[in-house]
Amino acid sequence: MKFMIVGKASAETEAGELPSQQVVDDMHAYNESLVKAGVLLAGEGLYPSSEGVQIAYSGGKATVIDGPFAEAKELIAGFWLIQVKSREEAIEWALRLPVPPGHDGIGLDVWRVFDASDVPDDSLPAQEREREEEMRRRLVGDDTPA
């Protein structure tokens, strides 16, 4: 099962402030533990919302809205994509994340990532499953046919 752990933004991350060296060291140690356990698929920090855009839809038309965005508590500062055996294991990994002092409130979301392998074989046409698998092979650089 794949899960995404989403780190919430704070006033500091939205201001573009870099974390203390201790926080950086703690985060490196956490990321290294994910790698050693063989569960980390991806993980990145994000720039403040002032560097981003939102795309809103109305009447079938898209509008691009430049950041920054007002509600920092609803924004994300980074993410980890992990592959684990259960929801409980994903939560265990999320609970190990080092939390900088003074960060109270909801700081992380843990979401299960939908994967084509989650769909029963008989509910997805073979052609659609093959197309999905081929796209995923290309993403990881594996050109070997299934």
Q: Are residues 138 and 75 in the same domain?
A: no
Instruction: Please tell me whether residues 35 and 105 are part of one structural domain.
Output: yes
pLDDT of residue 69: 86
Q: How far apart are CA 17 and CA 35, in angstroms?
A: 26
CATH number for the domain spanning 44: value is 3.30.70.1060
Domain count along the chain: 2
Distances (CA, A) of 61 to 52, 55, 56, 120: 19, 10, 8, 35
Confidence (pLDDT) at 30: 97
Q: Given this model, what pLDDT does residue 55 score? A: 94
> Is pTM, for the whole model, over 0.75?
yes
User: Are 99 and 122 members of one domain?
Assistant: no
Query: Which ranges of the chain have pLDDT less than 70?
Result: 72-73, 101-102, 106, 121, 142-146
Q: What angle do CA 11, 45, 28 make, to 5 degrees?
A: 110
CB count, 10 Å around CB of 102? 7
Q: What is the pLDDT of residue 121?
A: 67
Tens-digit pLDDT profile for residues 3-12: 999 998 888 8
